[in-house]
Amino acid sequence: MRYWLMKTEPSVVGIDHVLAMPGQTVAWWGVRNYQARNFMRDQMHVGDKVLFYHSNCPEPGIAGLALVAKRAYPDETQFDPDSHYHDPKATRENPRWINVDVRVTKKTRLIGLDELRAHPKLAQMRTLQRGNRLSITPVDPAEWKFICEKLLGIKP
């Protein structure tokens, strides 16, 4: 099992949106970074655990816990000429972009960037590194455990 931090803009698809969806599950569409795509395509498996992270908002931070509910498959937005995420180089025979399905398992209190940065045990957390802009990053198992146990008070 692997652990991930996945960023989304709450004004587009926030944790409350997903909790209102059937099965509390959403396709993680719109990723247009090759490294993030490769994480989804090559490394994510059903059951992997996810820190559901709100970004590009007044209070960015971890908003809940989730899991990967479906393995990688083509992102339909790449084929839609009316979509902001349309990619004219993508074809059904050779899709360039994929998504996974993510199911929210728990909404938590918001753990903001300042709180995450305040803990030396999280100093190497990839999403906290200077210049990191990836929307999907791996999370070390020890970081996951610390966040769950120490910051959220739940058994991981």
pLDDT digits (tens, 9 = 90+) for 43-80: 999 999 999 999 999 999 999 999 999 999 999 999 99
CB atoms within 10 A of CB 48: 19
Closest CA to 24 of 33, 15, 32: 15
* Average pLDDT rounded to a whole number, residues 13-38: 97
- The string of pLDDT tens digits covering residues 79-137 is 999 999 999 999 999 999 999 999 999 999 999 999 999 999 999 999 999 998 899 99
Q: pTM to 2 decimals?
A: 0.96
pLDDT at 156 > cutoff 90: no
Identify the structural domains of the chain with CATH numbers, from first to last.
Answer: 3-151 (3.10.590.10)
* Average pLDDT rounded to a whole number, residues 27-45: 97
